[in-house]
Homo-oligomer: A and B are copies of this chain.
Amino acid sequence: MKLNKNRTLRESIADALRDSIMQGQLKPGVKISEPALASQFGISRTPVREAFRQLDSEGFLQVLPRRGARVAPLSEKDVREFYEIKAELESYAARLATSRLTEKEIDRMEFLNNQMETFHREKDYKKVFNLHNEFHEVFIRAGGNEQLHHLLQMLASKFQRFRILLTIAGKSEGSIAQHREIIEAFRSKNPDKAARLVAENAIFGKEVIISEILGEMQ
């Protein structure tokens, strides 16, 4: 983890911590020691504390007054609720995007989805995950509601540690097939169909996570 830049220490620490949590290296419920982190990075507690406040508001940490910070645990209910919200918001984005997506953008979605398939076969799941995100990003952005985009970004990163499991478990074929249908709906300028398919795609993700991933994690 590199610190130096024009960026403040607080920013660097917040980013590093957020990444570790998103990547799942820091497990839910684990206590994060302020002094330990500070000395680990060779800095004082002040910027660490400020990073904590930020990550607390973002939902990555749970900071209890006078009892320190721990990685925010996410329950099965949280995951379920997240996917249902995602389904609503992304299908809304899809509806907005239908009339706005350029042919070039749709081509790009097709390209990204094909790449996903390739890397899925090669079992390069990290790449598959990133491509998956990029695919959704295209139509969310195209919808034109920037706050919606921002909100979905925020939610996605908060639940990244779960979403990435889905990819790693090699469960992406279903999504890839669904993406083809979504592309088709966008090409034929059918907002209702696009919205419905995008919602189904999210719910599909929820089902797989709940039944196949969370079950096994106990």
Contact = CB atoms under 8 A, between A and B. Distances in A.
A89 interface: yes
Interface in A127-157: 145-148, 151
B10 A78 contact: no
Contact of A92 (B46, B53, B54, B88): B88
Contacts of A65: 7-8, 11
Contacts of A70: none
How many protomers of this protein does the assembly include? Answer: 2
Interface string A34-52: 0000000000001001110
22 contacts: A7-B65, A8-B65, A10-B53, A11-B65, A46-B46, A49-B50, A50-B53, A51-B53, A53-B54, A53-B57, A54-B54, A54-B56, A57-B57, A77-B146, A84-B145, A85-B89, A85-B145, A85-B147, A85-B151, A88-B89, A88-B92, A151-B151
Given A88-B88, A151-B151, 16 more contacts: A11-B65, A46-B46, A49-B50, A50-B50, A53-B53, A53-B54, A54-B54, A57-B57, A57-B58, A78-B147, A81-B145, A84-B145, A84-B148, A85-B147, A85-B148, A88-B92
Interface of A: 7-8, 10-11, 46, 49-51, 53-54, 56-58, 65-66, 77-78, 81-82, 84-85, 88-89, 92, 145-148, 151
